[in-house]
Amino acid sequence: MKSIAFGQYYPSNSIMHRLDPRMKIIMGILYIVTCFLCKNVITFGILMISALLLIIISKIPVKIVIRSIRAIIFIMIFTAVLNIFWTKGEDYELLLSWRFINIYSSGLYNAAFIVIRIVSMIIGTGIFLTYTTTPIQLTDGLEQLLSPLKVLKVPVHEFAMMMTIALRFIPTIIEETEKIMAAQKARGADFSNGSLVKRAKALIPVLIPLFISSFRRAGELATAMTCRCYRGGKGRTRLNVLRFSFKDFVALFLVIAFGTGIVLLNIYAPGYTM
Amino acid sequence: MSKLTVENVSFVYSAGTPFEVKALDGVSVNIESNRITGIIGHTGSGKSTLVQMFNGLIRPTEGKILLDGEDIWADAKKISAVRYRVGLVMQYPEYQLFEETVEADIAYGPKNMGLDDAEIAKRVLESAEFVGLGVENLKKSPFDLSGGQKRRAAIAGIMAMRPEVLVLDEPSAGLDPAGKKSIFEGIQKYAEATGAAVIIVSHSMDDMAKYCEDIIVMSHSKVAMMGKRNEIFSRGDELEAIGLGVPQMTYLVRLLAQKGIDLPQDIFTVDDAEAAIIELFGGAK
Ligand SMILES: Nc1ncnc2c1ncn2[C@@H]1O[C@H](COP(=O)(O)OP(=O)(O)O)[C@@H](O)[C@H]1O
Ligand SMILES: [Mg+2]
């Protein structure tokens, strides 16, 4: 239950887990940009190795990463197939020709590149963001990264607070749903059998108590926050102040160096270019 | 043969994830009809997990649950029939109320059983009477009742299914003494009227002493002690080692014994203590 509740966060004590969330957001974005910069065989090869290294550094079990890749396997196969059949590379070797279907070697390269790019992007966002950073850390990081927008009267703090509260209560609401479902099952409710209409009707005894307690909880939370003098973000200090440390800058430097290396290799490395 | 037998049951939450918790570890207990059994233990000792096994809400990772000697999981499709025979009142049951009227809410269980309207109406009235919920409340919205009344309406909803085994998970949690008393009296009435096996989960030693004949003590996912009320409470040191202690009156008797005033050792409730003290002063009231 809790594994769903806390998104994809996977607790561990790796260095990646201990980096500053703001820096991880920036690095995640840079890494995704780098995924799009890759152009030839060597750079895509390096990209693939970098994704594997990220998994190793963050001590996330490969099993878990594969699970999230599996979720989009169809999109991946679809784009790969499209690339194989639709790449017109007149300058390249024609591998197969049958009626109107022509498959060039460039098509195979492009398909492989696209797959590596998608997989690396998923691994990159996962490792930098969701697997190693709790949702609360993420919203905190986001709020502080976006705080310059406050000058333009964008209610950054309010959005972040809303997101934090929503995230905070997802596990609670899931737990509550499970409890109410169990309670109604104990009274003979059946959620898994019967026609669609019947199953939808069976949910009424779950939804009504759930709504009522959510409203009650929202009211209680508002009262509790008011009692503790919450009045928006103005002048509010934090319990856990985010501070960049040396390792954050080293990590950022490595990601930037990686991106620069890729750009240079795109220009100077030989081989097929997308 | 016992009404309900738990054989060497273990259960693990979120198995195979980093959040794995072993909630039950090789638990075996017997529950008899015609009496009230108490399950006691501190928070997180596995009480709620155990009682949710009784009616098949969760399936044991290992071990068996026998109802009248038959494995309730022998045919997983028939588990809903087990849920009518073993009625479970979950913790804070008032949050499960959803119907427009109290009457309709109590009738939800019996309706799912497929009983006819006349039978349902009869059971609703009887159950409301067990828990002491006046007829004038039946037409009200459950959300207009007081906290204690809501709790009683929810308990009546389970009693209306006439379960052979009635299980209540912390039925008195968060109620005032008067509310507590009326809940326990309702449970006693049901037990007497139907001869069902009744199981009450609690962490109040005093409530256990007052209402339960058999007691099961849980500690760290295991059964620590099991037996008759006086057997269990006479092992005060072991209970204290688990962090539970003995009923207040038993404690008082022990303190008095240290001061040289000897009272019988089997005093668990205020009534017991009252009778013994009157006896000590010569019997006349
Ligand atoms: N739905 C659940 N998911 C994961 N762990 C749970 C869940 N319910 C209970 N637990 C854990 O199982 C253990 C036993 O809990 P529980 O049976 O509720 O104990 P008790 O009712 O005695 O307080 C606790 O450590 C608790 O944290
Ligand atoms: Mg409990």
Q: Two tokens at A193?
A: 């059998």
Q: With contacts defined as CB-CB under 8 Å, which chain B residues touch A189? A: 112
Taking Cα atoms as reference points, which of A36, A22, A56, A52 lies closest to residue A240?
Answer: A22
B87:A186 CB<8 A: yes
With both helix axes pointing from N to C terminus, report the angle between A62-70 and A105-125 in degrees, rounded to the nearest 10. 120
Q: Which atom of ligand 1 is nearest to the CA of B19?
A: 4
d(CA B116, CA B99): 19
Point out the residue among A10, A179, A188 whose CB comes nearest to the CB of B83: A188
Distance from CA of A81 to the nearest CA of B (A): 35
B57:A182 CB<8 A: yes
Name the residue in chain B with its Cα closest to that of A1.
B14
Chain B, window 30-89: residues with a beta carbon less than 8 angstroms from a chain A beta carbon: 52, 55, 57, 80, 83-84, 87-89
A188:B19 CB<8 A: no
What secondary structure does DSSP assign to B82-101, as a single string? Answer: HHHHEEEE-SSGGGG--SSS
Report which protein residue has its CA nearest ligand 1's atom 3.
B13
Distance from CA of A213 to the nearest CA of B (A): 8
Query: Domains in chain B, start-ordered, CATH in brackets?
Result: 4-246 (3.40.50.300), 247-285 (no CATH)
Q: How many degrees, rounded to 5, is the angle at CA A126 between CA A120 and CA A129?
A: 125
Name the residue in chain B with its Cα closest to that of A10.
B18
ipTM of the complex: 0.89
Write out pLDDT tens, residues B225-267.
999 998 998 888 899 899 888 888 888 888 888 898 888 878 8
Please name the residue that has the structure tokens 């309900």: B4
C-beta separation of A115 from A76 below 8 A: yes
**Per residue of chain A (274 residues), what is the pLDDT tens digit?**
343 434 578 888 899 999 999 999 999 999 999 999 998 899 999 999 999 999 999 999 988 888 888 888 898 999 999 888 887 776 777 777 777 777 888 888 889 999 999 999 999 998 998 899 988 888 889 989 998 998 898 888 888 888 888 888 888 898 899 999 999 999 999 888 888 888 888 899 999 999 999 999 999 999 999 999 888 877 788 887 888 999 999 999 999 999 999 999 988 877 777 7
Domain segments of chain A as ranges: 2-145+242-268, 162-227
Q: Is B47 in the pocket of ligand 1 (CB under 6 A)?
A: yes
B112:A189 CB<8 A: yes
Q: Which atom of ligand 1 is nearest to the CA of B221?
A: 14
Please name the residue that has the structure tokens 């499709």: B77
Q: Two tokens at B275?
A: 């009778």
What secondary structure does DSSP assign to A44-62, as a single string? Answer: HHHHHHHHHHHHHHHT--H
C-beta separation of B179 from B148 below 8 A: yes
Task: Report CA A217 to chain centroid distance, whole Å.
Answer: 29
C-beta separation of B258 from B241 below 8 A: no
